[in-house]
């Protein structure tokens, strides 16, 4: 490997999905997208579901990854992701069909007023799957309509609920 290149590896639970030498990489972290160039300082980042773009010369390629972690070093970027997809392996008709099914299930879960740990886990699983399917469609070039759900997990914690006692003002 030349000193002005980056070794990019993407590994999933199924094994090594991608191993290429590139000039530049952009990946989605939970804090926003980040880029890696040769000579990058060491960093570890949590990866959210989204699109990884890498460039070699004038040729740019994109792949979809699920949530995971990335470790960047001087001339290497290792991404450990739960999912991985390349554009040519995506059937948009099947993905859209599954996305419609997930959205129906998710609307039923969100409509229920009572929250339980099981329901919260089911909601998280459905949102994670919805985000993965949306990333595949975005990679294919036909993204679904945006939702307000993708970042619920990483937002600020909800404010504490303080009940007022009779005759006493409430204070947070």
Give residue-wise pLDDT tens across range 13-47. Answer: 999 999 999 999 999 999 889 999 998 899 999 99
Give the pLDDT confidence score for residue 125 in this predicted structure: 92
Residue 18 lies in a domain: yes
Sign of CA dihedral 141, 147, 151, 153: negative
Same domain, 117 and 145: yes
Same domain, 13 and 78: yes
Segment 91-119 mean pLDDT: 90
Segment 49-57 mean pLDDT: 95
CA 104 to chain centre: 21
Same domain, 82 and 95: no
Residue 168 lies in a domain: no
Same domain, 62 and 124: no
- Which structural domain, as residue segments, surrounds residue 105? 91-154
d(CA 72, CA 27): 11
Tally of domains within the chain:
2
Same domain, 83 and 11: yes
**Which range, of 43-52, 95-104, 106-115, 126-135, averages the lowest pLDDT?**
106-115
Same domain, 95 and 121: yes
Sign of CA dihedral 153, 46, 148, 131: negative
Residue 167 lies in a domain: no
Residue 164 DSSP SS3: coil
Segment 146-160 mean pLDDT: 55
Number of helices (H) and strands (E) in the chain: give both, helices first: 2, 10
pLDDT band at 84 (very low <50, low <70, confident <90, very high): very high
């Amino acid at each position: 490997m030349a000193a002005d290149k980056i070794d990019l590896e993407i590994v999933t639970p199924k094994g090594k999905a991608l191993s290429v030498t590139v000039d530049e990489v952009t990946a989605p972290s939970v804090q926003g997208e980040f880029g890696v160039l040769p000579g990058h300082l060491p960093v570890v980042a949590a990866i959210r579901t989204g699109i990884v773009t890498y460039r070699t010369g004038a040729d740019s390629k994109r792949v979809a990854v699920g949530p995971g972690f990335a470790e960047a070093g001087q001339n290497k970027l290792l991404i450990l992701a739960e999912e991985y997809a390349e554009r040519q392996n995506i059937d948009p008709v099947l993905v859209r069909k599954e996305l419609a099914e997930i959205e129906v299930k998710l609307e039923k879960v969100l409509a229920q007023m009572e929250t339980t740990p099981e329901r919260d886990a089911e909601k998280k699983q459905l949102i994670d799957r919805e985000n993965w399917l949306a990333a595949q469609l975005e990679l294919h070039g036909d993204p679904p309509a945006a939702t307000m759900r993708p970042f619920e997990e990483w937002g600020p914690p909800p404010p504490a609920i303080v009940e007022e006692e009779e005759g006493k003002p409430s204070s947070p």
